[in-house]
Amino acid sequence: MSEYQEEQTFQCPYCASMISIVVDLTGGRRQSFTTDCEVCCRPIVITMVVENESLVSFEADRESD
């Protein structure tokens, strides 16, 4: 893992399983993307804010209908 990546662990908003992903701290100040839960395969919307190459906010939410 490079110095511009960080591992983030969070709870799936559907099945409550603990999920771990590597996030890119160079992708812009505000980032939003969708990833699937490794356990229940449902879509999770990740929203994060990066300042000075540090993660300052991270949210994992259900995908809205």
Of residues 28 and 60, more confidence is placed in: 60
Q: Where are the beta strands (DSSP E) in 1-65?
A: 5-11, 18-24, 30-36, 43-51, 54-62
As for how many domains the chain has, the answer is 1
pLDDT score at 19: 96
* Residue 64 confidence (pLDDT): 86
Cα gap 36→53, rounded to integer Å: 25
State both tokens at 24.
């890119």
Percent of the chain with pLDDT over 90: 83
Q: pTM score, two decimals?
A: 0.87
In which domain, by residue range, is 17 found? 5-62
pLDDT above 80 (res 65)? no
All residues at 6 or more sequence positions from 9 whose CB lies less than 8 Å from its CB, including other chains: 18, 19, 20
Give the largest CA-CA distance in the chain.
36
